[in-house]
Structure 1
Amino acid sequence: MDMGDILSNSLLYPLQNIKALVIFIVLGVIAGISGGTTAIDFILDFLGVNNIIANEADILGILLFLILSLLIVGYMIDVVKWSIYRRSDSPGIDIRRQFSNALKLVVVEIVYLFVPFVIFLILSIFLARWISAIIGIVLFIIFALAELMARCRLAKNDSLREALAINEAMADIFKIGLIKIIFTVVLAFVMGSVLFVVSDSISDYNYIIGGFVLGVLSVYIIFFYNRATGLLYSNV
């Protein structure tokens, strides 16, 4: 598929699967409100302003936010899987497997962040600071793109081992096309930035409504991004 087909398909995909979109919008709204209000409570507690709020409530808010976030992430891995095979329907909900895949993805992200960080630290010992900084930035960009490919490998195979095959993940970047991947990532970043500006502006007036808007728009963009990622990988 060319980029035009991928982007148009990805933008329409959430609207063609309204049931799944609504379910995860509800989850996203709850996660957005619980995460947002808990963060505000922590800040107020730290400033000594919000002593009325119980710490137990904050902990429950964090747990709820983490659980719902992992469920959404696990489902989106399946959205990538469906998209790799160019299916137009939405995945079913399989909480156990999808939660497991979400945890696997956490491991993948840690590894793909840890490796360039270690390399950067080693280089900084032997090279000038500005040279090691430039190399470090390049490494982090490369590994971020490789992590995206690792996510697709995890989605396709449900295998942590496949996802951690760093050399093969990097090879996938060039099979798909570096420019296509960067374009998709930048587009999602721009959309996400607009989303957070809008929700933050609304939160200045009412953080519950801001959390609601954040939840709705976040889930739509997440659907779009994972659909586009899977369709890109379908060209491998």
Structure 2
Amino acid sequence: MSLSEIITDSVKYPFTNITNFLIVGILTLLAGIFNVFTLWGITNGAIYYLGLIISFIFALFLSGYSLNIIRNAMVKSDDFPMLDPVNNIIDGIKVLIVSIVYFIIPFVITLVIAIVTGTIGAGLNNLFAGLGIASIVSVILFVLFAIFEVVAVARLAQTGEFGDAVNFGEVFEDVKRIGIAKIIAFVIIALIIIVVVQLICSILVFIPILGALIASIIGGAFGVLFYNRGIGLLYIDQ
């Protein structure tokens, strides 16, 4: 599939089942309930911590469900995955660990470079030079490993095995097979589309009482379904 075909298919996918679309939207709302509480000025107390726990649990749930969206895309199924709370949360934990593995590496390398260049503990004379080097290397590393992480999550979706996701050699081969430029182009285009949809949904905020909730549900559901559908199609693209 060409990149345009992947994007087109992924944009259409969320609207193939409106009922399930709304269910996914509610899940995204619950995953972000902590932010809602913060906007309401609830920043401490039992309700605050309850919101934090609810957000974390549903974020794992949604992350694991996203793996199933990727799996369905890989077999060219237009169906929405069934909700399976226990397995979805387990998969969500796997995704979280994979993300930590891939992002801890550039963090550690950047930290080492910052120490070597004298950024940490440096005097004013060396601080700006060290910051410049560390910043450039940090951006490059985080972009590179973000690409690897996208492919690693797709491998996890395909096999369900954590080991396949952290097999750096195989992940690198998949990145070469798909094409690093194509992955970057997809991510950039996907983010632009998601931002545009979010901006359109923001108009709904002006609806009294329920406007913000409706906007969150629609925007959240579209982002999760569209992006993960695209990842699955991108991964199986030859």
- Sort the TM-score into its range (normalised by shorter chain): 0.7 to 0.9
Q: 1:27 to 1:125 in 2, by over 3 A?
A: closer
Q: CA deviation at 1:197?
A: 4.6
State the identity as a percent. Answer: 27
Q: 2:105 aligns with which of 107, 111, 115?
A: 115
Q: Which residue of 2 aligns with 1:227?
A: 229
Separation in 1, partners of 2:194, 2:36: 20
CA 1:206–1:64 in 2, change beyond 3 Å: closer, same or farther?
A: farther
Distance (Å, rounded) in 1 between the aligned partners of 2:85 and 2:66: 12
Contact kept? 1:195, 1:217, Cα under 8 Å = yes
Q: Which residue identity lines up with residue 101 of structure 1 in the other structure?
A: D
Q: 3-state SS of the aligned residue for 2:6?
A: helix
Q: How does 1:111-190 map to 2 (within 5 A)?
A: 111-127=101-117, 129=130, 130-190=132-192
Q: Which residue number corresponds to residue 91 of structure 2?
A: 101
Shift of 1:178: 1.5
Contact 2:205 2:215 in 1 (8 A): no
How far, CA to CA, are the matches of 1:63 and 1:125 in structure 2? 36
**How has the CA–CA distance of structure 1 residues 123 and 37 changed in structure 2, closer, same or farther, with 3 Å as cutoff?**
closer
Q: CA deviation at 1:170?
A: 2.4
User: Counterpart amino acid of 2:37?
Assistant: T
**Alpha carbons 1:70, 1:99 under 8 Å: kept:** yes
Aligned to 1:51: none
Matches of 1:168 and 1:35, distance apart in 2: 37
Residue type matched to 1:230 in 2? G
Please state whether the residue corresponding to 1:90 is helix, strand or coil.
Answer: coil
Q: Which deviates the most, 151-160 or 164-173?
A: 164-173
Cα deviation for residue 205 of structure 1 reads 8.1
Q: Which residue of 2 aligns with 1:89?
A: 79
Equivalent residue letter for 1:156: Q
Structure-2-length-normalised TM-score: 0.84
Equivalent in the alignment of 1:37: 36
Q: Aligned pair in 2 of structure 1 residues 209, 65: CA closer, same or farther (>3 Å)?
A: farther
Gaps of 5+ in 1: 47-53
Deviation at 1:132, TM superposition (A): 3.1
Aligned residues between the structures: 226
- Which whole-Å CA distance do the structure 1 matches of 2:94 and 2:69 have between them? 16
Describe the shift of the 1:92–1:40 C-alpha distance in structure 2 as closer, same or farther (beyond 3 A). Answer: same
Aligned-residue RMSD, C-alpha: 2.4
Contact 2:151/2:174 (CA < 8 Å) preserved in 1?
A: yes
Cα–Cα, structure 1 residues 204 and 98, in superposed 2: closer, same or farther, change >3 Å? Answer: same
Q: Distance in 2 between matches of 1:7 and 1:73?
A: 21
Specify every segment of 5 or more residues in structure 2 that has no aligned partner in the other structure, as ranges. 118-128
AA aligned to 2:114 is: S
8 Å contact 2:34–2:51 — kept in the other structure?
yes
**What does residue 59 of structure 2 align with?**
69
